[in-house]
Amino acid sequence: AENLSFWEACEELRYGEQSRIAEIVDSIYQQFLAPGATRWVNIDSKTMERTLEGIKTPHRYVMDDAQMHIYMLMKK
């Protein structure tokens, strides 16, 4: 359930309002990626590093690597 929710949150980021990008990125991080997150998703360390580097300057596609990783896990 967490994986699907994460994927949907990433879709909201990609297609949502430009003015809310930083807010949505922070929300995704807090819910799914932060240490002790309530709905933590399991992504590999390399993907996590790229994602953490990217969220320093949030943009619409910052979660793409992590989203693709989760998509491939769900597909299996």
Q: How many domains does the chain have?
A: 1
Domain region containing 42:
1-75
Sign of CA dihedral 2, 38, 25, 69: negative
At 52 the pLDDT is: 94
CATH (domain of 57): 1.10.167.10
Average per-residue pLDDT for the chain: 94
At 76 the pLDDT is: 87
At 67 the pLDDT is: 95
The candidate with the shortest Cα–Cα distance to 24, out of 39, 32, 1, 49, is 32
The pTM score is 0.88
Spans in the chain with pLDDT lower than 70: none
